[in-house]
Amino acid sequence: MAISGDLLIGGASIRGAAAPFSASNPADASTMEPSFAGATREQVEKAASLAWEAFPVYKETSLEDRASFLEAIAERILALGDELVLRAIDETGLPRGRIEGERGRTVGQLRLFAKEVRDGNFQELRFDPADPDRKPAAKPDLRLRNVALGPVAVFGASNFPLAFSVAGGDTASALAAGCPVIVKAHSAHPGTSALVGKAVVEAVAACGLPAGTFALLFDAGFEVGQTLVADHRVRAVGFTGSRRGGTALMKIASERKQPIPVYAEMSSINPVILFPDALLNRGAEIGKSFASSLTLGAGQFCTNPGLIIAVDGAGLDAFIGSAAAALSEAPAQTMLTGGICEAYRKGVERLSSASSVSRVSVGKEGTPHQAAAALFETTAAAFLADPELQEEVFGAAGLIVRCKDENELYGVVESLEGQLTIALHIDADDVAAASQILPQLEVLAGRLLVNGFGTGVEVSPAMVHGGPYPATSDGRSTSVGTLAIYRFLRPVSYQDFPGALLPKALRTA
Amino acid sequence: MAISGDLLIGGASIRGAAAPFSASNPADASTMEPSFAGATREQVEKAASLAWEAFPVYKETSLEDRASFLEAIAERILALGDELVLRAIDETGLPRGRIEGERGRTVGQLRLFAKEVRDGNFQELRFDPADPDRKPAAKPDLRLRNVALGPVAVFGASNFPLAFSVAGGDTASALAAGCPVIVKAHSAHPGTSALVGKAVVEAVAACGLPAGTFALLFDAGFEVGQTLVADHRVRAVGFTGSRRGGTALMKIASERKQPIPVYAEMSSINPVILFPDALLNRGAEIGKSFASSLTLGAGQFCTNPGLIIAVDGAGLDAFIGSAAAALSEAPAQTMLTGGICEAYRKGVERLSSASSVSRVSVGKEGTPHQAAAALFETTAAAFLADPELQEEVFGAAGLIVRCKDENELYGVVESLEGQLTIALHIDADDVAAASQILPQLEVLAGRLLVNGFGTGVEVSPAMVHGGPYPATSDGRSTSVGTLAIYRFLRPVSYQDFPGALLPKALRTA
């Protein structure tokens, strides 16, 4: 399929009338064909208007029709075959195995939400029967269901060109909830976005859904996104990206005449707490697996373990020695974009030049377009004194906080901001200490894990990929797993409705 | 029980060190004993600090212990007997029947949440078993539960001195969720608040819970509330009051280092749409029951029907004639406070002096401290041209919008802001027209009702007392009914936890 670089609005390819841009291959900074034309304000408004028109029809599609639609998207993504894989590799610098795995995850997510839609539990149907004889007042008939919020603006993420982009988790869960979706494609992988967008548009048509059910917009800058979030017809936002980007959208959304929920997944350094018994027994082993998690995918995961917290001792030295050795052998990797690579280098430079921080290890140098892993160390006192050390360096950079004793460790934990994940490494003798700190950790993160690292994120009913601010803008939600559908729903109660006027799902208890 | 006028912090009566104030009897503007002393910033911080300390213990109380605690509060409120009823009557001007009914509702809410806690469904326990043999990667063990958000600041509402005040719906649902509660008492009924607060404090002690589980603070102004919402240990806010108050709290909450959810129920004019067949058959009858709903409790309900929308015709004339006649016989009523009475008079004056609005009827005059009901009429064109006509006049004032035809009626509906309720009056021949407009209404309100008025709010599983902004700050929630507990919870996922470290509820599937 030729990639036209057009916007997809109302089921049609429309040339954007704002500034054009091109994708860049991050491996060599070469420019890729074709050029993508940004959307104007009018084009954004057209997409919003069509989504608003589609909304009452799409939200009342039968569970079966909606589930089939999600499956049709999955089918069409697979049907894109190697063209999609190759384009994604070229646009992101990610290896084939990763892209193919991510495609599997994307398709799996769509199918999981299809199942969730068929189950129908997300509707939360509730029935309170009438009691005309109740005293002092008759009891009315009350029925409740969840309804879709309205059109949702989804922002593709740079680091998951498939699983958190055009037909990724946010889109799948919003469509599952009954919300039309308008995607602002990430400008780092517009070709990948165009291919997947076309697959969704074809599925919309094949399933006989309103053309406004889905739209894909391009923009090299911020204007399209800002216009979308401010548009009165858009009723929720899904975003994965930087804290700066996320908080900017939160601000726009809160200043609207009608504020709307923003589900922004922003930044997390995913602390790893190493307990004494585990360090003593397995310090070197944990160090090795930490190095491998830190460098996975050039460290470009929201759940990348960027912070190690542990009490000083021989076990910690063994951990550091082993992690440092593994890291020094780690090959440099191409990062997602030149901009991300540059930001990573600046972050590493910031840590390197901090007087209270020392460099423990650095990975192998690569091409000018690749980044080397880096590991640093500081003291608890220095960490507590400098809030900047908590700032995420997106990429394979880690910081070890060496604590003098348990109390210092608790102090460091207490100083942490909200996180997506916190990992504990424990052996049998650590359970009591871990239990003691658990209530503190539950307040800080969406997912707690034992003897592992957060980088693998299951797409399943019990997953929480979320966490208190600034990990996300709304710690009451998850962007991965079936619970994600609830972000785009709200309850509506129907009182004393005659059967003919009731929504179908509420007609019989 | 003598009312001391002290704050209740850490289970102790503590004299507030800020400016004192007294309650005023709205029936005659007389000052009531004793004086209540406002809390200083330090006293607010003390309450927050104790709540934060109580949190890890309170949130892990067993379901049975927490349910018993809620029931113990209910018992102690009832045990206050007539002292509570008389004080509430004096402080609010509400009649005995209403106060007694509200006490029943308050106790019923606490017991309903006790049942909800015992059921345990709100924990949303989820189990994804491990699969070590899965390819390409082993599947971890994942378990999920909802955990309490943290200490909650609750603002007592002026119009429900019991059911939405110190131990009202917000407090009951937050405590049920496992959150300590700090109440900022409404300055219009401090004695009622003090009595109920003492009952809660006694229940905390009797149940052996941490003393910081509950606190009661006084303030005649805004500083205590602002300090509370800004405090980093407070993690959610429950508020019922004016739009100005609610949006001020939303702003403070969103500008914190860590923004927190605010559940503010603010303003709603609860439109009533009269359809042609119903008007034709029952116009006069509907008019009579409308007048009775409008004047119920001096119109001081969040769900008071303040706006009538209908197409011109004989049926509407019959409705207006009957409503006007009934209203002209309605006795004046004492409003909750002198300030509310004055604001009501100003609102009525604003409508009376609007050139596009004509007065249809006015209730009987009463004492200088009472307010008379008032009914106005305008055209659809005038309503659409003047957004101020959508502003809530808190009290027994109604506005009828006379539409030339169905299209004008749809236009008026389309212009509406978010609402708590929308009522439809229909007969058999109206069902088709009502069906057509239903999707529009679902987007606008939390509860839709047929052939009734929204003033009765059932406390039950299928109730939604919420709605899109500005009816509330968060249309994804309800402040009445069992779903209200979910406002104060967030999901946490536990991965590969050994049994001994898992929260008890997650130990066995």
- Predicted local distance difference test score (pLDDT) of residue B296: 95
* CB–CB contact A497 B450 (8 Å): yes
Percent of chain B at pLDDT > 70 equals 100
* CB–CB contact B463 A489 (8 Å): no
- Predicted local distance difference test score (pLDDT) of residue A462: 96
pTM: 0.97
Residue A509 has pLDDT above 80, yes or no: no
In this prediction, residues B193-202 reach a mean pLDDT of: 98
* CB–CB contact A126 B462 (8 Å): yes
Q: What is the pLDDT of residues A7-21, one digit of tens each?
A: 999 999 999 999 999
Q: What are phi and psi of B298, to 5 degrees?
A: 55, 25
- Predicted local distance difference test score (pLDDT) of residue A136: 86
Percent of chain A at pLDDT > 70 equals 100
CA distance B137 to chain A (A): 9
- Predicted local distance difference test score (pLDDT) of residue A2: 86
| Best B121, B495, B501, B507 residue to mutate vs chain A (most A CBs within 10 Å) | B495
CA angle B61, B65, B68 (to 5 degrees): 145
Q: What is the pLDDT of residues B431-482, one digit of tens each?
A: 999 999 999 999 999 999 999 999 989 999 999 999 999 999 999 999 999 9
Residue A418 has pLDDT above 80, yes or no: yes
Residue B509 has pLDDT above 80, yes or no: no
Residues of B in contact with A447 (CB under 8 A): 492-495
* CB–CB contact A463 B143 (8 Å): no
Candidates A448, A475, A492; nearest CB to B448? A492
Q: What is the pLDDT of residues A312-352, one digit of tens each?
A: 999 999 999 999 999 999 999 999 999 999 999 999 999 99
- Predicted local distance difference test score (pLDDT) of residue A508: 85
Catalytic positions of B are 265, 302
CA distance B21 to chain A (A): 35
- Predicted local distance difference test score (pLDDT) of residue A390: 92
CA distance A213 to chain B (A): 16
In this prediction, residues A218-233 reach a mean pLDDT of: 97
In angstroms, rounded to a whole number, what is the distance separating the alpha carbons of residues B250 and B355? 35
In this prediction, residues B58-78 reach a mean pLDDT of: 98
**Among candidates B341, B81, B52, which has minimal Cα distance to B213?**
B52
Question: Is A107 at the interface with chain B, CB within 8 A?
Answer: no
* CB–CB contact A501 B60 (8 Å): no
Q: What is the pLDDT of residues B210-266, one digit of tens each?
A: 999 999 999 999 999 999 999 999 999 999 999 999 999 999 999 999 999 999 999
Mean pLDDT for all residues in chain B:
97
| Best A492, A494, A497 residue to mutate vs chain B (most B CBs within 10 Å) | A492
Whose tokens are 């440092």? That residue is A324
In angstroms, rounded to a whole number, what is the distance separating the alpha carbons of residues A122 and A398? 39
In this prediction, residues A11-32 reach a mean pLDDT of: 96
Q: What is the pLDDT of residues A82-132, one digit of tens each?
A: 999 999 999 999 999 999 999 999 999 999 999 999 999 999 999 999 999
Candidates B452, B468, B492; nearest CB to A442? B492
Size of interface A-B (CB pairs under 8 A): 195
Q: What is the pLDDT of residues B109-124, one digit of tens each?
A: 999 999 999 999 999 9
Residues of B in contact with A55 (CB under 8 A): 439
Mean pLDDT for all residues in chain A:
97
- Predicted local distance difference test score (pLDDT) of residue A96: 97
Chain B, 240-269: which have a CB under 8 Å from a chain A CB? 250, 254, 258-259, 261
Q: What are phi and psi of A151, to 5 degrees?
A: -55, 140
Candidates A127, A450, A473; nearest CB to B496? A450
Q: What is the pLDDT of residues A127-148, one digit of tens each?
A: 999 999 998 889 999 999 999 9
Candidates B449, B464, B483; nearest CB to A496? B449
Per DSSP, A375 falls in state E
B284 touches B321 (CB < 8 A): yes
Higher pLDDT, B119 or B369: B119
In angstroms, rounded to a whole number, what is the distance separating the alpha carbons of residues B183 and B424? 37
Give A181's strand partners: A152, A214
In this prediction, residues A42-63 reach a mean pLDDT of: 98
**Among candidates B41, B487, B60, which has minimal Cα distance to B240?**
B487
**Among candidates A484, A464, A445, A466, which has minimal Cα distance to A266?**
A466
- Predicted local distance difference test score (pLDDT) of residue B2: 86
- Predicted local distance difference test score (pLDDT) of residue A164: 97
CB within 8 A of A478, min separation 6: which ones?
A446, A463, A464, A465, A466, A484, B491, B493
In this prediction, residues A390-414 reach a mean pLDDT of: 96
Question: Minimal Cα distance from B256: which residue of A?
Answer: A469
Question: Minimal Cα distance from A506: which residue of B?
Answer: B462
**pLDDT class for B508, splitting at 50, 70, 90?**
confident
Chain B, 442-461: which have a CB under 8 Å from a chain A CB? 442-443, 445-452, 456, 458, 460-461
- Predicted local distance difference test score (pLDDT) of residue B136: 86
